[in-house]
Amino acid sequence: MGRNRRPSKQMLLLLEALSAHTQQWRHGYDLMKETGLLSGTLYPLLIRMTDQGLVEAEWREPEHPGRPARHAYRLTNAGVAFARMATPAGPLTFTKVAFT
Amino acid sequence: MTLAVSRALLSMASRSLGSDRRTWAMAMEAEFEAAVEDRRPFLFALGCLFAAWREIGKHSEGRLILANYALARGLLIPMAVLQFQQAIGFLSSAGGRPFGIPSAADGPNFYLIWSQNSAIPILVITWLLLGIAHLCLAWMLVEGDWSRIAKCGMLIGAAMITLSLFMGVLMLDLSSLRAQVAELAIEFVAVVSISRWHIRVLVGASRDLLAR
């Protein structure tokens, strides 16, 4: 139901960031910095997209010892297809500057 | 200081997300270190709290949390204020003519006046205790500490019975207590309903956990 709706600008920003390297796992804070989205916007989006099967999440070992494991995200196949469909004209060109 | 406030906000966010979204709460907590390194822990934690509040109405545990807050703020805290008002009102009316005298022509009953005046401190303390117990009850309800809620409920009941007995024996005006009893009955029904809802949510969450 949600997938039939036009994605929001914030969702497109997130799709752009995640579809740049579809096989790469991305951490939440890195996504925040890259997209310019605040945690209050990013996490509800990630939760919704995970529920819809567009994004998969996994716990990754910390880069530095003594740190907690971090949750990482990447697009599923459905997510990649959705990202392509959301921008039929080609690669996403939204930037965070465009929405500020 | 900012770090402590940020941690408190993040903790509040985690608790607001409930067990349904426990993984997401842990994910936010894991990213907090990155926010600290980036010197933006407060903004990150505040955002997480907003995110948690946006999710709160979407799951049964979140709706229960909202109901707890509504009951605490909408009924228990006003009840506590009412008890404090009653205590102050009782104290200010203590200097007036004693109750329980059929007519002024009968003359003052010095024994009754002395008894009523002697009982004033203990009655005022009981009213204040009722007020404080209501504030504690509101806090425990928000915390979800049901064993202490039961104890606090019993304390309120005992204080109310003590107050009714003392005021009855001392022939004090019981009209204020009648309204209180009705309000306490409403409060009791509301707390019992919330506790039953809480049990249903707990059973549902346990079933989900077992199914995973």
Q: What is the pLDDT of residues B70-80, one digit of tens each?
A: 999 999 999 99
Residue B182 shares a structural domain with residue B93: yes
Q: Band the pLDDT of A67: cuts 50, 70, 90.
A: confident
Structure tokens at B10: 């993040």
Strand bridging mode A55-60 / A26-27:
unpaired
The tens digit of pLDDT for each residue in B160-208 reads 898 888 888 877 777 777 888 888 889 899 999 988 888 888 777 667 6
Best of A38, A42, A43 to mutate (most B CBs within 10 Å, chain B):
A43
Q: Between B21, B26, B43, which is nearest A38 by CB?
A: B43
Rounded to the nearest 10°, the torsion over CA B104, B106, B110, B112 is -80
B43/A71 Cβ within 8 A: no
Query: Hey, how many other C-beta atoms are within 10 angstroms of the C-beta on B147?
Result: 8
Same domain, B16 and B112: no
> B68 with B40, same domain?
no
Tell how far CA A85 is from the center of its chain: 15
Mean per-residue pLDDT, B132-146: 90
CB A92 within 8 A of CB A79: no
CB contact under 8 A, B31 and A47: no
Domain count, chain B: 2
Residues A73/A46, Cβ–Cβ less than 8 Å: yes
Q: Provide the domain limits for residue B116.
A: 61-211
Rounded to whole angstroms, how far apart are CA atoms B198 and B52?
20
Domain boundary among B56, B72, B99: B56
Does position B103 have pLDDT exceeding 60, yes or no? no
Cβ–Cβ < 8 Å for B56, A40: no
Regarding whether B139 and B85 lie in a shared domain, the answer is yes
DSSP calls for A47-95: HHHHHTTSEEEEEE--SSTTSPPEEEEEE-HHHHHHHHHH-TTSS----
Pick one of 1.10.10.10, 3.40.50.720, 1.20.1260.10, 1.10.3720.10 as the CATH number of A2-90.
Answer: 1.10.10.10
Tell me, yes or no, whether B198 and B142 share the same domain.
yes
Task: Quote the CA–CA distance of B199 and B205 in Å, as a whole number.
Answer: 10
- What's the mean pLDDT in A19-34? 91
For chain A, the domains span: 2-90
pLDDT of residue B208: 66
Q: What span, in angstroms and rounded, lies between the C-alpha atoms of B28 and A71?
A: 8
Structure confidence at residue B93 (pLDDT): 65
pLDDT at residue A96, rounded to an integer: 46
B69 and B42, same domain (yes or no): no
CB contact under 8 A, A40 and B54: yes
pLDDT > 70 fraction of chain B, expressed in percent and rounded: 88
More confident residue, A74 or A86: A74
Residue B45 has pLDDT above 50, yes or no: yes
- Taking an 8 Å cut-off on Cβ atoms, the answer to whether A71 and B30 are in contact is yes
Q: Is B34 on the interface with A (CB under 8 A)?
A: yes
Same domain, yes or no, for B86 and B141? Answer: yes
Domain end, chosen from B36, B56, B76, is at B56
| Domain C-terminal end among B56, B74, B95 | B56
- The neighbouring-strand residues paired with A70 are A60
Query: Model pTM?
Result: 0.59
